[in-house]
Each structure stands twice: as structure tokens, then as C-alpha cells.
């Protein structure tokens, strides 16, 4: 297992490879940042993150990329307690953690209202395909993670975000050239 500093260094190098970075990266919690459902635990349990998660979060912050949470959890108190115990609660510019049937569209509308960041300037990581499909339709570059967020998923997300932004710019130029 790699240490947080090693992962952070690798993530920083990776972020430097891309000319355009997202203004905001949004993470789900359960099975994306940590390997459990927080509604199956109590706030007295000791949480842990996936091995690459903290290094990636730190690298994004150091690169000036804002980060946020979009989590459909009925146990806000447990999630907030775990974020505090893990020492990462203050890293997020928005934390939308609540039960919902909307596949995270309500979460993203609130994040957009809080941050002012347009959907097409966001990158999102989640472990549920239905959330990826729905949030992608809002214009957010969305990446499905199988076993938590890691450096491979980060590279895939940054690549897709970069491709989406450049094709969006090309379409804008075509429109203005008429």
C-alpha cells in the first residue's frame, strides 16, 4: 500500500500533465472515498479511506482545484463524524449529504448554487452507474469507480474532462463562425 505523500506526489505530477483542470471535483462517499456504507456503522466506529483517496484529495487542494461531496446518505451525523475523524472535513467547499431519490441531481443543483461552478466545469466520481448516467446528462464529466477512487480513476477522469472541454470549445467556435 502506498503512503498518502507518495500518492499525492504522483497525483500532483498527473495534474501537471493536463492544460485544463476542472474547477470542482465532486466525490461520493460510500464505496468511493471509503470502503463501506456509513449508514451501516455508527459515529463511534473508526473509519478509513481507500488507499489513494487522501493523497488525491490533498493534491487537488494543493493544485487549487476545489472539492465537494455529493452523497445520498440518510445518516448525515455519521458521515460528518467520519469526515472529522479522518481530518478531511474542512477540505470540501460544499458537502451535500442527504437521502434522495433523484440520483444526485438535487445534490448537484445545490453544489452549483453554493459554488457557482457550471456543471461542465465539474468532474464527479461515484461507484453507482445510475448516478453516473444521470449526472452526466447535467453536463458533468462523471467517472464510475469500481473499488474506490484511485490514481487510475483520476487519470481517466482528467482525460475525459479534458476531451469534453476541448470538444465543447470546438463546438462553441463552430457556432460563432457562422
- Residue tagged active-site, from 28, 66, 126, 127: 28
Q: Is 30 a catalytic residue?
A: yes
CA count, 13 A, side-chain hemisphere, 172: 6
Are 27 and 122 spatial neighbours (Cβ–Cβ below 8 Å)? Answer: no
Place of cell 445518516: 75
Cell numbers describing residue 6: 507518495
pTM (2 d.p.): 0.92
Query: Which overall architecture, per CATH, does domain 4-172 show?
Result: 3-Layer(aba) Sandwich (3.40)
- Residue tagged active-site, from 3, 5, 30, 39: 30
Interatomic CA distance for residues 178 and 158, integer angstroms: 31
Cell numbers describing residue 45: 466506529
- Per-residue pLDDT of the chain in tens (178 residues, 90 and over written 9): 468 999 999 999 999 999 999 999 999 999 999 999 988 887 888 999 999 999 999 999 999 999 999 999 888 899 999 999 999 999 999 999 998 877 899 999 999 999 999 999 999 999 999 999 999 999 999 999 999 999 999 999 999 999 998 876 655 555 444 5
Question: Per residue in 36-53, is it b (16+ CB within 10 Å) or e — as a string?
Answer: eebeebeeeeebebbbbb
Distances (CA, A) of 15 to 32, 67, 86: 20, 14, 24
The domain limits of the chain are 4-172
Q: What is the pLDDT of residue 171?
A: 58
Number of CB atoms found within 10 A of residue 154's CB: 25
Amino acid at each position: 500500500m502506498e503512503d498518502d505523500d507518495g500518492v499525492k506526489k504522483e497525483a500532483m505530477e498527473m495534474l501537471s500533465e493536463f492544460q485544463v483542470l476542472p474547477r470542482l471535483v465532486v466525490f461520493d462517499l460510500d464505496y468511493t472515498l471509503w470502503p463501506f456504507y456509513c449508514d451501516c456503522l455508527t459515529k463511534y466506529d473508526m473509519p478509513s479511506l481507500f488507499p489513494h483517496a487522501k493523497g488525491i484529495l490533498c493534491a487537488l487542494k494543493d493544485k487549487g482545484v476545489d472539492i465537494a461531496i455529493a452523497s445520498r446518505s440518510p445518516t448525515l451525523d455519521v458521515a460528518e463524524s467520519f469526515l472529522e475523524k479522518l481530518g478531511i472535513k474542512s477540505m470540501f467547499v460544499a458537502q451535500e449529504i442527504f437521502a434522495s431519490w433523484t440520483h444526485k441531481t438535487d445534490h448537484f443543483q445545490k453544489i452549483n448554487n453554493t459554488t457557482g461552478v457550471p456543471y461542465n466545469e465539474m468532474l464527479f466520481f461515484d461507484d453507482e452507474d445510475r448516478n453516473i448516467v444521470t449526472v452526466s446528462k447535467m453536463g458533468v464529466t462523471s467517472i464510475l469507480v469500481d473499488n474506490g477512487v484511485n490514481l487510475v480513476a483520476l487519470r481517466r477522469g482528467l482525460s475525459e474532462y479534458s476531451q469534453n472541454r476541448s470538444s465543447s470549445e470546438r463546438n462553441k467556435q463552430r457556432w460563432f463562425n457562422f
